[in-house]
Amino acid sequence: MHHMIEAEGLTKNYGSVTAVNGVSLNVAEGELFGLLGPNGSGKTTMIRMLTGQVRPTSGSARVMGLDVVENPIRIREVVGIIPEQETPPSFLTAEEYLRFVARIRNLDGIDERCERWFDLLEFPDKRDVLCKDLSRGTRQKLMFAQAFLHEPRLVLIDEPLINLDPIMQRKVKDFLRGYVRDGGTVFLSTHILGIAEEICDRIGIIHNGRLLYTGPVDDLTGSGRHLESFFLDLVRGDAGG
């Protein structure tokens, strides 16, 4: 099985605080992997390490065969990333922002790519509005579009649905499943268990920086357990020491 993400003993310390503590995991090609955890459990730091935004304190990781410490820019060239905070530049319009990203990524066929995403995420009427004037939901759609603009084989998403309305949430979930069916790979982090239960192939549960569990979602649901009760038992058990 070809792994798109391979992490071994990945650790990140911020001063005396250990945000991620010796996490080892693999994500296979064509898999939709969900990293679940409460707020502050280390999910965002994990994504930032895997995408070369934060250097690990120890451990190693390879993303699409590239070492995250040696090739941080190259990794960001080949993968798509949707950060937790949507931060498109204030004074470009939605369309201009996509064109800006397309130029950074040296993409051709910009017109077609933009049209496709405006239509898919249903915001063509917002294409000429400044990013600062867009609603948070529309800004998140824009961040979604920028991450998929270069048609990457792997996308890492931090809290994918948090600002979207239920209709758009459904659409994005369907899109992600379709993307994985077509051979793409998704690594998403979330604290909304319903998303993971519904669309993920496999999950990891992280708490206080430590990976407590990895396994297929079907193993849980097939055994009649609810993800929520499993998650709460695991996290409470870990907190209880």
Chain contacts with another protein (rule: CB under 8 A):
48, 51-55, 69, 72-74, 76-77, 81-83, 85, 87-93, 95-96, 99-101, 103-105, 110, 128-130, 132-133, 147
Beta carbon nearer to another protein, 89 or 216: 89
Least separation in angstroms between CB 224 and another protein: 39
Beta carbon nearer to another protein, 99 or 113: 99
Q: 2: closest CA among 20, 26, 19? A: 26
Least separation in angstroms between CB 72 and another protein: 5
Beta carbon nearer to another protein, 11 or 53: 53
Least separation in angstroms between CB 129 and another protein: 6
Residue by residue, DSSP assigns 67-127 as: ETTT-HHHHHHHSEEE-SS----TTSBHHHHHHHHHHHTT-S-HHHHHHHHHHHTT-GGGT
Residue by residue, DSSP assigns 133-186 as: GS-HHHHHHHHHHHHHTT--SEEEEESTTTT--HHHHHHHHHHHHHHHHTT-EE
Least separation in angstroms between CB 77 and another protein: 4
Least separation in angstroms between CB 114 and another protein: 9
Beta carbon nearer to another protein, 82 or 206: 82
Q: What are the structure tokens assigned to 109, written together?
A: 């066929």
CA atoms of 99 and 104, how far apart (whole Å): 9
Q: What are the structure tokens assigned to 98, written together?
A: 């996509």
* Three-state SS at 155: strand
Beta carbon nearer to another protein, 135 or 229: 135
